[in-house]
Structures are given as C-alpha cells and as structure tokens.
Amino acid sequence: MRLILILALSLSLAACAERGFSPLRPDAERVGTAHEIFVATHRAPDAAGWYSADRASSLSYTKLSVIVPPAHVPGQISNGLTNPDPQTDFTIATKQDFTAPAPFHGAIAARLAALPRDQREVLVYVHGYNNSFFDGVFRTAQMKHDYDLPGVTLHYSWPSAANPLGYTYDRDSVLFARDGLEKVLRDLGSAGANRIVLVGHSLGTMLVMESLRQIEIRTPGWSKSALNGVVLVSPDLDVDLFKAQASRFQSLPEPFAIFVSSRDRALMLSSRINGAVERLGSLTDPGRLSEYPVTIIDVSSFSDGDGARHFTLGSSPLLIGLLSQSDDLNTAFQRDTAGRSGLLSGTVLTVRNATQLILSPGLVTQN
C-alpha cells in the first residue's frame, strides 16, 4: 500500500512542471466557446510570462480568453498541458496584462456597463489546495460554461505549490494571500456590480473566511452589505475554526451555502493529517452550526469523474444538471438576497438557524 502511494505521488509530481505552462492558442477561438476570465493573483510571474507557485509581494492582474472545446463534457476538464488540442482541450487564446489595479477594475466596470442591468454580476472564485495557475483558471471557465453563469467572472489565484506534498506550504500561502483577496473584494465595490457572489473551494475556503473575518473586524457589517452570496465547496476547514471566524461577522451574508459530502476522500485524508478532526466539508450534524443562518447542502450521494468526490459541485455531470436546471437556485443566488431555504427540492432538516438540504441523483429527473 505504501509503495502504491509513493508511486502515485511520484506520477503527480512529474506532472507538476507541465501544469505550470500552457501556450497561447489564438486559433482556438474559431473552434470552441470563448469565456472572458479576469484574474487577480499573488503568484510571482515566471520566465514564460505566466505565474508560478512562488509568492509575490504585490498583486498581478490579467484578463484571459479561455476556450472550452466543442468536445467538452460537463464536469470534465481536459488539459493538453504543453500541447493542447483546441478540439478536445481547454486552451487560452488571448492574454491581456494590467500594470495596475485601476485599469483592471476599469475593464471590469466597462464589461459590466455593457451588460443588461439584471446581469451586472461578478462571481469571484477562489481555488483550493494543490492547484497550479492553470488548474484554477480552467476550473473557473468550466464552471462559468457548465452553469451558464451571467455577468463577469473573476478568479483569485493564490500561490499554491501545485504539489500533493505541499499542504503546509499551501496553508501558509492562504494566510499570506488574505490581504490580496481583501483588496480585490473591496475594489470590486466601485466597479459597478449589482451583485457579488464569492465562491471558495477546499483550502481556498479558509482564505475566504479569513479574508472576510479581517474585513469584518475593520468594517463591521461589510460582508452582508457588499456580498450577495457566499458558497463554500468541500471546505477544508476545522469546524471550530469556522465557528470562530463566523463569530466575528456582524451578520453572515445570505445566502450562505456550504456544500458537504461524507464521502469526500480528500477531506478524509485531511482529517487524518489534522489529527482526526472533522472538516467542515464532511459535516453530518447541522446542529453544530445551529446558531448561524447557513444552508448545508449534502451531496454525498453524487460521484465525480475521479472518485475523489472533492469537487462534486463542479465535476459531477448529474449534480451540474440538477443545479443548473433549478429555478429555486437561480432565484436564490441571482435575485433573492434574502433567500436561503428552498434552494432546491430535497430532504430538509432545520436546526434553529441552520438548514440542511440532502440532495440525491433521483432529483435530476424531477426538475
């Protein structure tokens, strides 16, 4: 068993260098579907003009045209690494760098102003553990494509080592990147967005909560007034730590959704690494969060492409189909700032302020 683990890690490490580079393919725009992705990152630039695992002292800003291939299957990301095929692989057609935050946010403001008023929304996605720059960018584009998300999409790329052995480095990088995410979120307030929804995955949820916590300490009530929804996907967070973070909020933004799975293998491993402490993304007892107005969405019954079940929200075709067809979810996250319960049909359990919603694949045929 140990030998198998070592071999698996070796194979992962061998791919790390290739995950750090992807060539520009302007021709891909004639092949697939283009999505505009704005990126703010605390990664240091590399020699190829992209962004590495190293930490930078200041933020960098760029705008990418990411092309989803015509052969794309919902939930899947095909990455041709250093030699992508636009017919089958995610590719990047164009890249526009910004030398300062003002023109970057000016470009976002211009894009928002060109949209119908009811689509002037910004979704901010924060990636998780073991992600290269391209891993996060392609995941952002994949979710925008599969969920047909309106408005502007912004990816905050923090300096993950993109290495399965880099967990400690990544946790330190999360703390390092807090000020950067705070700046990005505060600057968005002047870009003209009618709605801002913040989504974090895995270890990136710690970054989300830590950044919002420090904002709340400086500006009580900011999160609820500035954000129109927070989504934590498979949060790799100690439950007690989350409660300590949430206690510093004057009031949590609503809706505040937490996607959990008792079958998340990555979180099982994280629990062992962290002394068998239950992770928020594996929570089974909503009573532990009963004092908070949160919706806990249990997706344990859904599987994904690689069997890890660590990003079912983005990688399960069945769940994507269910959520993208849900009028209730659309209402809650795009129009109803007070909506929290009633996101979807499912088994509902309410414990004081917290609501647990248990989804199953059988619901797909009911929508």
In what side-by-side order are the strands of the sheet with 91-98?
91-98, 51-68, 33-45, 152-157, 121-126, 195-201, 230-233, 256-260, 295-298, 354-358, 347-351
What is the rounded CA–CA span in Å between residue 343 and residue 2?
43
Nearest C-alpha neighbor of 284 from the set 251, 258, 266: 258
Tell me, yes or no, whether 219 lies in a domain. Answer: no
pLDDT of 354 over the 50 cut: yes
Verify that 176 and 278 share a domain, yes or no: no
Tell me, yes or no, whether 173 lies in a domain. Answer: yes
3-state secondary structure 215-269: HHHHCCCHHHHHCCCEEEECCCCEHHHHHHHHCCCCCCCCCEEEEECCCCHHHHH
Verify that 174 and 265 share a domain, yes or no: no
* Average pLDDT, rounded, for the chain: 81
Verify that 169 and 268 share a domain, yes or no: no
Verify that 116 and 59 share a domain, yes or no: yes
Residue 330 has a pLDDT of 52
Tell me, yes or no, whether 239 lies in a domain. Answer: yes
Q: Count the neighbouring beta carbons within 10 Å of the beta carbon of residue 298.
A: 22
What percent of the chain stands above pLDDT 70? Answer: 76
Tell me, yes or no, whether 71 lies in a domain. Answer: yes
pLDDT, one tens digit per residue, over 158-198 is: 999 999 889 999 999 999 999 999 999 999 988 888 889 89
What is the rounded CA–CA span in Å between residue 26 and residue 7?
37
Verify that 186 and 258 share a domain, yes or no: no
SS3 288: helix
pLDDT, one tens digit per residue, over 209-227 is: 999 999 999 999 999 999 9
List, as one string, the DSSP characters of 172-218. HHHHHTHHHHHHHHHHHTTTT-SEEEEEEETTHHHHHHHHHHHHHHH
Nearest C-alpha neighbor of 156 from the set 192, 204, 228, 209: 204
The boundaries of the domain holding residue 85 are 1-193
pLDDT, one tens digit per residue, over 8-66 is: 333 333 344 457 788 999 999 999 999 999 999 999 999 999 999 999 999 999 999 99
Verify that 182 and 232 share a domain, yes or no: no
Q: Supply the angle between the helices 101-113 and 178-188 in degrees, to the nearest 10.
A: 40
Count: domains in the chain: 2
What is the rounded CA–CA span in Å between residue 97 and residue 115?
23
Q: Is the pTM of this model over 0.95?
A: no
Residue 312 has a pLDDT of 57
Burial of 127 (0-12, 13-18, 19+ CB in 10 A): buried
Verify that 144 and 245 share a domain, yes or no: no
Verify that 3 and 75 share a domain, yes or no: yes
Verify that 46 and 116 share a domain, yes or no: yes
Residue 334 has a pLDDT of 47
Tell me, yes or no, whether 95 lies in a domain. Answer: yes
Tell me, yes or no, whether 203 lies in a domain. Answer: no
Verify that 231 and 351 share a domain, yes or no: yes
At 346, the pLDDT band (50, 70, 90 cuts) reads low
Nearest C-alpha neighbor of 95 from the set 146, 34, 20: 34
pLDDT, one tens digit per residue, over 250-300 is: 999 988 989 888 777 667 677 666 665 678 988 888 899 999 999 888 887
What is the rounded CA–CA span in Å between residue 180 and residue 316?
31
What is the rounded CA–CA span in Å between residue 237 and residue 205?
7
Q: Is the peptide bond before 70 cis (omega within 30 degrees of 0)?
A: no
